[in-house]
Amino acid sequence: MLKSISYCWRLPATALCFAMFGLLGLVSGVLVFPLVRLVPGRKATRRRRVRALFRFGMRFFVEFMRAVGVLTYEFRDTRRLGRPGQMILANHPSLIDVVFLIAFTPQPLCIVKAAMWRNPFTRWPVMAAGFVSNDSTFDMVEQTAAALAEGQSVIIFPEGTRTTPGQALQFHRGAANIAVKAALIVTPVFIRCDPTTLAKNMPWYRIPPRRVRFTFRVGTDIDLAEFRKAPPPLASRALNEHLLQVFADELRSGGRPAQEPADRLLRA
**Residue 233 binds other proteins (CB under 8 A):** yes
Closer Cβ to other proteins, 123 or 237, answer by number: 237
Query: Which parts of 28-96 fold into alpha helices (H)?
Result: 33-38, 43-67
Closer Cβ to other proteins, 136 or 245, answer by number: 136
DSSP class per residue in 211-245: -EEEEEEE-PPBP-TTGGGS-HHHHHHHHHHHHHH
| Cα separation, 164 vs 162, whole angstroms | 6
User: Contacting other proteins (CB under 8 A), which of 25, 82, 174, 188?
Assistant: 174
Closer Cβ to other proteins, 137 or 259, answer by number: 137
Closer Cβ to other proteins, 66 or 242, answer by number: 242
Instruction: Choose the binding region for other proteins from 18-26, 55-63, 171-179, 207-215 (rule: CB under 8 A).
Output: 171-179
Task: Count residues near other proteins (CB under 8 A).
Answer: 15
> Backbone phi, then psi, for 109, in 5-degree steps?
-110, 125
Q: Are 61 and 99 in contact (CB under 8 A)?
A: yes
Instruction: Choose the binding region for other proteins from 31-39, 90-98, 173-181, 192-200 (rule: CB under 8 A).
Output: 173-181
**Residue 177 binds other proteins (CB under 8 A):** yes
**Residue 161 binds other proteins (CB under 8 A):** no
Largest CA distance in the chain: 63
